[in-house]
Chains A and B, each alone.
Chain A
Amino acid sequence: MSSAETGIKLYLNTILKNKSGIVGVAMIILFIALSIYGMAAYKNVASEWNNANYWRTYPKVAMPAWMIYFSPNKIFSTKTFVSQPKTLYSSSSYEIVQVDYKFKWNKGSAPSDVVFYVDTSSPIETINIVWKKPDGAQVTLSQSSPSEATDLLSYTSSLDSYISSQIGYVPPRVVASTLSKALFGYEGKGLLNGTVEKGTYEAKITLVVPPHTKVVANKLYLEGNAYGIFGTDIYGRPLGIGILLGLPNALEIGFLTSIISVIGGVIIGGISGYLGGKTDSAINWVTLVMLSLPILPFLVVMSYVMRPTLLMEALFISFLVWSFYAIIARSSAQSIRKEVYVEADKVLGIPSYRTFFTHFMPRLTPFAIAYTALGVPAGIILVETLAFLGLAPPGLITWGAILNGAEQNFAAVNGWWWWILFPGLMIILVSIPFVIIGFSVERGIFGGR
């Protein structure tokens, strides 16, 4: 082996020579670009991710928007309406303001929720909504603690009594979409059976506010059941943004764990195989100790006890997995030790550390590259698994945590497939280029087919 054969150039060539290697490199570049874009474009969103209030006007568990093409009558995106507020009465102690919305509804199903948004310059005292259906039937909604955005769930008591006056009882598990059905269905026993009155609806919102209050903005949201490319979760958070913001975290922890553990493992294993004898036995014993610790339960215990940050988590994982790389590096160092040029160095009296750096390290580099590439997805999967168990580093957006949310909210039972499918697909998509590169370098070294 000449030095040209062991240089970094060779491995780059091995990677770039075959088609899958190029695809892998291109995918990694794309992922890094996407991470940078996500961090720059959604910097503020990341800090609001766990703030349910921030997402209140978004449709809850909406499927991906492209599903609209398959069933435009049943699947639709959110519609919003703006109206001109009118002051009905004003005195020195209070004012009455009315916001009146008129809209046509001709979809085959009711919106998933209705959100009334009124931003006023001073706090609203009372809010009262009269909802008029196309056939003239009226529903009055009122609630005691008004805020600037109220969805149907905040009018549950009004709507529950309306529902029970029509069908005689209140269904056991009332969600926003049930309440919305009540507002859009025909009155009578079949109020909640899903048939929708088509035609012009009217919503009259009457506000009592302190004098000289201005209505800054107002909006009526008829929440759709489709949003964005990947849909939303139960809090209305768009999964597309969650997936995008999870990408830099996944890559960071993948790179960190992989680089730390592979470098540590290759150096320790390389020295062990190179020196041989008693040192080798001792290091091998330590490796065996580390190998015998069950990684996942141990990590679960550690994460549970310490709640580590991302960097600590990466160090924990590296601490537990370096032994795998040490074993492989040791066996290849052992085979290098038998080579003639190592013997020659010994005879010439060249110091052993120099032999190590000139003959062993260059030949161990391919292992290091191959296993660094393979270690990235391994690290990503471990961290996503921990996050799926609810043990993610606190404050981080991870796909595992999104999937954990899906499991906790029974996404499989409710058929919210987009919530399960896309975050998991991302774990696979991010892993694939690293695995491909790792395998192609490995094949290059071992000369496999």
Chain B
Amino acid sequence: MGYKTYLAKQVIIYVTVLIAAMSILYVFTYPVIQTVLRKTIQDEALHFKQAILKHASGHGTLNMTKINLEVHRYEAQLISSYGLNRPVYAKYFIQMYNLMTFHFGNAYYLTAPSGSRKVSAIIAAYLPYTIILFTTGTLIVIFAGTIIGLLSARYAGTFWDKLVPTIAVIHSSLPTWWLGFLFIAALAYGIHAFPPGGITSVPPPKNPLMYSASMLYHMALPLLAFTIVNVGGFAYIIRSLVISTTKEDFVVTAKARGLSDSRILYRHILKTASPAISTQVALAIAGSFAGGLTTEIVFNWHGLGWLTYVAILSNDLPVILGITFVLTVILLLALFIDELVKGYLDPRLKVGE
């Protein structure tokens, strides 16, 4: 199997997985989606009617029956375009098509900063902040976690070796949002060292340099909480991967050849373990977007997680559904890219074995 065949197979698998995942979401939220669509249609029909009335009153001819007829025709047109009058299976295909083409409909109450009520516009406005915060956070975690994990795998019985299980326990038992909450109480309101939340100071600085400085200052506490909670888990994974690779025959061979420990670690063990590590990295980044929901709420960081919460509080279901879809796509994209990298790193695939 060559790399191209491998690639084609992966594309098929991931596209079908995305459709299946969305189908599960669809089955669970089917009744809600129906009410959401009806509401959207009613809203649009009302807007349409108001527009006609405004137009007609300007011309001085106001024929209500004609206007109502026009509105009804528009409504029927919308209903058929959203597929509400179709049988269940047709509805399913239409909904899948709408989701896959990012047509999430209109939000009930929320608007994007630009004023648009389109769910896709709202999500596009908030997604970058989530990406900035959690990609930075995950990169710090990967960097620090890899160093600690390697140190602990290399120096058995030392401080580093004992540190990893301890911080791994922290990782599995400490909720990030609570740590953030505590930090806000102690470090922001207690000693006033950090801002309690938000993305930049209010009003946002005009100078782009000052703007990014203010943003970094506001990112400090969420990043601190995120790193403390997650670094242990990553270090533990790296450590286990390295230790399990150390037991392989080729490592023994390398030792027998008299190679230095650091050369074995970096050139042999790490090279072999890298596909597994890259999987962890991809999962960590994509997973952090979805898992950062509560962190964003606690720190009032206006990203996707915060948006989800606001959408829940204001009963804005189209936004909630749209976000869930986008997060699923991001996670699948990460897994897919990871497959590609793994395929690329795996020499067996390159030679077409």
Contact = CB atoms under 8 A, between A and B. Distances in A.
A163 interface: no
Given A294-B324, A389-B309, A389-B312, A407 B18 contact: no
Interface in A382-431: 384-385, 388-389, 391, 403, 406-407, 411-413, 415, 417, 420-421, 424, 427-428, 431
At the interface, is chain B mostly helix, strand, loop or mixed? Answer: helix
Interface stretch (A33-41, A203-211, A224-232, A285-293): A285-293
Contact of B320 (A304, A377, A406, A407): A304
A412 B300 CA distance: 13
Given A296-B291, A297-B290, A439-B165, A288 B28 contact: no
Contact of A296 (B21, B173, B293, B328): B293
Contacts of A300: 293, 308, 312, 320
B175 A427 contact: yes
Q: Which of B29, B156, B169, B289 has the most CB of A within 10 A?
A: B169
A408 B113 CA distance: 25
B335 A297 contact: no
A310 interface: no
Contacts of B17: 285, 288-289, 292
Contacts of B321: 301
Contacts of B13: 285, 288
Contacts of B312: 300, 304, 389, 391
A384 B16 contact: no
Contact of B324 (A298, A385, A420, A438): A298
A293 B173 contact: no
A435 B173 contact: yes
A377 B25 contact: no
B122 interface: no
Contacts of B16: 285
Contact of A292 (B178, B179, B323, B328): B328
A307 B296 CA distance: 23
A424 B175 contact: yes
B133 interface: no
Interface stretch (B63-71, B185-193, B249-257): B185-193
B161 A449 contact: yes
Given A297-B308, A436-B169, A411 B177 contact: no
B20 A449 contact: no
A415 to B, nearest CB: 7
A295 interface: yes
Q: How large is the interface on A (under 10, 10 to 19, 20 to 34, 35 or more residues)?
A: 35 or more
A357 to B, nearest CB: 27
Interface string B122-142: 000000000000000000000
Given A407-B298, A411-B185, A431 B25 contact: no
B331 interface: yes
Given A292-B21, A449-B156, A412 B331 contact: no
B298 A293 contact: no
Interface centre among A298, A302, A384, A432 (most CB of B within 10 A): A298
Nearest to B298: A407
B252 to A, nearest CB: 16
A297 B189 contact: no
The dominant DSSP class at the A interface is: helix
B173 A446 contact: no
Interface in B283-337: 289-291, 293-294, 297-298, 308-309, 312, 320-321, 323-324, 327-328, 331-332, 335
Interface in A288-347: 288-289, 291-298, 300-302, 304-305
A176 B298 CA distance: 28
A428 B243 CA distance: 28
A448 interface: yes
A222 interface: no
B172 A435 contact: yes
Contacts of A296: 290-291, 293-294
A421 B179 CA distance: 9
A96 interface: no
A16 interface: no
A374 interface: yes
B244 A293 contact: no
20 contacts: A285-B16, A289-B21, A292-B331, A293-B21, A293-B25, A296-B293, A300-B308, A301-B28, A305-B28, A305-B32, A374-B172, A378-B172, A385-B177, A389-B309, A412-B188, A412-B189, A424-B182, A427-B175, A431-B174, A449-B161
Interface of B: 13, 16-18, 20-21, 24-25, 28-29, 32, 156-157, 161, 165, 168-169, 172-175, 177-179, 181-182, 184-186, 188-190, 196, 240, 243-244, 289-291, 293-294, 297-298, 308-309, 312, 320-321, 323-324, 327-328, 331-332, 335
Q: Which 9 A-B pairs have the closest CB atoms?
A: A431-B173, A294-B290, A424-B178, A412-B185, A294-B327, A289-B20, A435-B172, A412-B184, A435-B169
Given A292-B331, A381-B173, 17 more contacts: A292-B17, A292-B21, A293-B21, A293-B328, A294-B324, A301-B28, A381-B175, A389-B294, A391-B312, A403-B178, A412-B184, A420-B182, A424-B175, A428-B173, A435-B173, A439-B165, A439-B168
